[in-house]
Amino acid sequence: MQQLGNFQLTTISGGQFVIDGGTMFGVVPKTMWSRLFPADDHNNILQETNCVLVQTGDQNILIDTGYGSKLAPKLRKIFAAAEGDPLLKNLNAAGLDADDIDLVILSHLHFDHAGGATRIDENGELVPTFPNARYIAQRREWMYATAGLPELRGAYPQENLLPLAEHQVIDFIDGDVEIVPGIRSLVTGGHTYHHMAIVIESGDEGAVYLGDLCPTSRHLPTLWGIAYDLDVLQLRRKKPEVLGMIADRGWWALWDHDPDHAAGKLVRDDRRDFAMSDGVKAL
Ligand SMILES: [Zn+2]
């Protein structure tokens, strides 16, 4: 747990997975990324889903939900995904139940971020995982994700999303807004067209959940993106802007997929644009 002004931040893993290293590094040659992220015999690298619990004193807020408990067996095997419900297991380990979450903020709606938003209950029904929570997403990300585009079927399984609308627990935001006092959205685009980072400020301290704008501490160079990024040039414009804000203000960067560091401070760096000065395994 890390104190941030009056807030408490805790990393809640939504489960580890493995993925082909090339997909996480797009056009970056393997000779470069594999020095930072060693690949196994199948070219896979280990990734985390570092969700963040923000306890404001008034509310328990969860940022992103990992891949959840509904992955089909074949996908579970491909990703070497955790059995059961890793998000709830790790939330319990932090002393909270699903009932205790008041608000869930989704950076974007890909399956490894929104999968844990819903679950299958004892009656075989798809239900929101957090029965007392409101859920927040960018309206245009939701429209894109639920538009039924066949080319996005794998990225946005509808079982993660539609139950939130059916149970009327999803609230939409448009652009950069204060979600609750001290927590605001910062739309970055890039990874998806309406992807957002989450800015958390309390007292004179700050942290930014970067989502897939910069998924690990190894993705700091401006030109290093993920093969799935939809708008590569937007990512290259926005990433140095957001990382620069974090570095110049002495804030925390929160990494969603880094298996070794859930958070770190940043400094500007001539060679790699930015470098991490103070990595933390988990908050
Ligand atoms: Zn992701």
| pLDDT tens per residue, range 77-91 | 999 999 999 999 999
Contact 67, 17 (CB under 8 A): yes
Interatomic CA distance for residues 66 and 163, integer angstroms: 17
Residue at 185 is within a domain:
yes
Ligand 1 center to 112 CA (angstroms): 5
Ligand 1 center to 269 CA (angstroms): 25
| pLDDT tens per residue, range 203-241 | 999 999 999 999 999 999 999 999 999 999 999 999 999
Say how many domains are in the chain: 1
Residue at 32 is within a domain:
yes
Residue at 281 is within a domain:
no
For residue 151, what are its two tokens? Answer: 């080319």
| pLDDT tens per residue, range 169-202 | 999 999 999 999 999 999 999 999 999 999 999 9
Residue 34 backbone phi and psi in degrees, to 5: -70, -15
Residue at 119 is within a domain:
yes
Which pLDDT score, from 0 to 100, does residue 66 have?
98
Identify the CA nearest to 252 among candidates 268, 238, 266: 266
Residue at 134 is within a domain:
yes
Ligand 1 center to 110 CA (angstroms): 7
Which pLDDT score, from 0 to 100, does residue 172 have?
98
Ligand 1 center to 143 CA (angstroms): 19
Ligand 1 center to 254 CA (angstroms): 13
Ligand 1 center to 97 CA (angstroms): 24
Q: What is the CATH number of the domain that holds 258?
A: 3.60.15.10
Residue at 282 is within a domain:
no
Which pLDDT score, from 0 to 100, does residue 76 have?
94
Print the domain residue range for 188.
Answer: 2-276
Ligand 1 center to 258 CA (angstroms): 10
Angle at 46 between CA 214 and CA 229, to 5 degrees: 35
What is the average pLDDT score of the chain? 96
Ligand 1 center to 8 CA (angstroms): 24
Average confidence (pLDDT) over 245-266: 97
Residue at 205 is within a domain:
yes
**Half-sphere exposure (Cβ direction) of 219: Cα atoms closer than 13 Å:** 33
Which pLDDT score, from 0 to 100, does residue 154 have?
87
| pLDDT tens per residue, range 3-35 | 999 999 999 999 999 999 999 999 999 999 999
